[in-house]
Structure formats: C-alpha cells, structure tokens
C-alpha cells in the first residue's frame, strides 16, 4: 500500500497474502488493548480466506504456511482467538505441499535448488 494507504502499490496478490493478512490481523487484535470503540472484525476478515487454495509445492511458501500455523496455534492455545478450523487447513496445506515437493525426488539436483527458498522452509520448521 502507499504510505497514505490510498492505493495498492502491487498490481496482484500473492498466493498466501490473504492468509498472511489474516494472521497479522489476528495478532494485532489479540495483543491490542481492549477498547470498546475498536470493533473485532475477525469473523469478517475470515472471509478473505474463502475459496483460497493454500497448497503449494514451493519450499518458501510451505515455510510461510508453517510460520502462520505457528502464530495461529500460539494465539489459539493462549485462548486469544478461536481459529482451529483455519489452523487445521493451513497445516493440511503444508503437509500436502511437502508431499508434493518430495514426490519430485529427494534430494533435488543442486542446479534446481534455491537457498532462499530452502531457508524459508527452515524458518517455518
């Protein structure tokens, strides 16, 4: 978004942008001070995830899924949010993604490996 939040600066949305946005919103909502003037829009913001297929065989994206799952699990276990359904969907997508990646053969050829993508997975793990 532009600095004044009046327009997007990127022409398209990434595969996991809705999940990342939802996760950040949940963190902000969970840790913000209670103020009756600030509405809880959790149910409304869940709508951005409707119809989103989170499955990917890309290591960086799988790492991102695992990181989002960690944040959602932490908030859920602390009783700050109730998003067990989304958490399970994210974990399922990460598992299927790992299975897709491993189905291509392990270990991959060094010519087809990208260190930053593998680093993304390791952060998620």
Per-residue pLDDT tens for 59-100? Answer: 999 999 999 999 999 999 999 988 899 999 999 999 999 999
Full DSSP string of 16-44: THHHHHHHHHHHHHHHSPP-TTS---HHH
Distance between start and end Cα atoms, the chain: 30
Q: For the chain, how are helix, strand and coil distributed in percent, rounded to 5?
A: 60, 0, 40
Indicate the pTM of the whole model. Answer: 0.81
In eight-state DSSP terms, residue 13 is -
Per-residue pLDDT tens for 113-123? Answer: 777 788 888 88
The residue among 16, 21, 15, 19 whose CA lies nearest residue 1 is: 21
């Amino acid at each position: 978004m532009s600095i004044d939040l009046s327009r997007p600066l990127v022409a398209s949305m990434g595969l996991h942008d809705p999940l990342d946005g939802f996760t950040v919103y949940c963190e902000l909502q969970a840790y913000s001070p209670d103020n009756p003037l600030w509405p809880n829009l959790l149910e409304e913001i869940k709508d951005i995830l409707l119809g989103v297929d989170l499955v990917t065989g890309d290591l960086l994206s799988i790492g991102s899924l695992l990181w989002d799952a960690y944040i959602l699990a932490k908030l859920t276990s602390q009783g700050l949010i109730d998003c067990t359904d989304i958490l399970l969907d994210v974990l399922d997508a990460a598992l299927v993604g790992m299975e897709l990646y491993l189905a291509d053969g392990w270990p991959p050829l060094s010519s087809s490996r990208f260190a930053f993508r593998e680093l993304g997975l390791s952060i998620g793990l």
